[in-house]
Chain A
Amino acid sequence: MVTFGELLERHEREIFAYALRLTGDRDDADDLYQETFLAAFRGWPPPRSGNERAWLYKIATNKAIDRARKQRGLVSLADLRLAAPERDGVTLADLRNAIRLLPGGQRAAFVLRKIEGRPYQEIADTLGCSEEAARSRVAEAMKKLKEAIR
């Protein structure tokens, strides 16, 4: 049986990094990380044993989408630097603004695919949608980002 301590040790770094990428803000990432693990502790056990990691990503994603709906906060430059390195002449400020404008579901799909490099099947599981829908969210996010930073 996995203990909460083991769950933290195994996954807290990647969940925190994911939270940072999703929110682009360290305080929000801190809150999101806490909310994710507290929800996991309260809702233990996961629906499928041995699938704790995917379950945590799903919780984090849903919490991030809820938060994004409630508040559209500014993304701080320093945190975005942690989340996504500057490249191709795109300034972090441009990227920050563009990511900020993405709807929650597209933002999560974009981060999972383009920053975390996850397979589409896993993204679909995390977002609770079909693989096709996950692909289309990433494509839509990419299109919007390209337009925004052109």
Chain B
Amino acid sequence: MTLEPLMSEARERLITRARREDLITVGYDTMDSPLGPLWIAVGPRGVVAIHYGKPDERELGRISRTYGPAVLPDRRRCDRIEIELDQYFAGRRRAFDVHFDLTPLTPFQRSILAATAKVPYGEVTTYRTVARKAGNEQASRAAGGALGANPIPIVVPCHRVVATDGSLGGYAGGLDAKRRLLALERGEARVPAGGWPPARKV
């Protein structure tokens, strides 16, 4: 007999009690997706992070500086967004209903992400257009930076923003992931059973 089964049952009970006592400010969970595991965190005002793979210390630091140390695994808190992401990957959802929270970002980053959030499903726009809609057409490079630091990819669809010359630009989840999301939204590809093969990170 090993400790692990006892341990995980005890952890579930601990999390339930912490939730009842209102000791969790940000709850997180990891879900499987066709693009690999996604780490999701939900705060008091909505989704605060979607991260490809495990979050690094910088990401956790950003969250704890903003919301305090009460960041705990909480599957229940992440239920809604996980259901919506599953529907999105299955091609049954074009927009997300969950609230999201961009509080820790600068006003410029927020305006770039707000402009990005309005790009319709299946369409693409350019960094320059997003910068213009955020009020500064000259800031397309800074717009790229803000999108690169987008804490909530997929829900804030930064994959729909490409370079003016038509090349893909960059993407936190890797360019394969960006290509796949665009193909999925255009109806050019469906998610194969068992998900896409592992993406190359660029």
Contact = CB atoms under 8 A, between A and B. Distances in A.
Given A42-B23, A82-B1, A1 B10 contact: no
Interface string B4-22: 0011011101100110010
Contact of B69 (A2, A29, A30, A38): A2
A149 B18 CA distance: 42
A30 B10 contact: yes
B138 interface: no
Interface in A1-53: 1-6, 8, 12-13, 16-17, 20, 26, 29-30, 33-34, 37-38, 41-42, 44-45
Contact of B23 (A1, A8, A41): A41
A16 B70 contact: no
A5 B3 contact: no
Interface stretch (B59-67, B77-85, B88-96, B107-115): B59-67
A17 B70 CA distance: 24
B14 A37 contact: yes
Interface in B6-58: 6-7, 9-11, 13-14, 17-18, 21, 23-24, 28
A38 B6 CA distance: 18
B11 A8 contact: yes
A3, A6, A12, A45, most chain B CB atoms within 10 A: A3
B23 A30 contact: no
Contacts of A26: 6
- Interface range, B side: 20 to 34
A4 B71 contact: yes
Given A1-B61, A1-B65, A38-B14, A17 B3 contact: yes
- Interface range, A side: 20 to 34
B58 to A, nearest CB: 12
Given A17-B3, A38-B17, A42-B23, A5 B28 contact: yes
B18 A41 contact: yes
Contacts of A44: 69-70
Contacts of B9: 30
B169 interface: no
Nearest to A81: B1
A34 B10 CA distance: 7
Contacts of A37: 14, 18
A82 B10 contact: no
Interface of A: 1-6, 8, 12-13, 16-17, 20, 26, 29-30, 33-34, 37-38, 41-42, 44-45, 78, 82
Interface of B: 1, 3, 6-7, 9-11, 13-14, 17-18, 21, 23-24, 28, 60-61, 63-65, 69-73
23 contacts: A2-B64, A3-B70, A3-B71, A3-B72, A4-B18, A4-B69, A4-B70, A4-B71, A5-B28, A5-B60, A5-B71, A5-B72, A6-B60, A8-B14, A12-B11, A13-B3, A26-B6, A30-B10, A34-B14, A38-B17, A38-B21, A38-B23, A41-B70
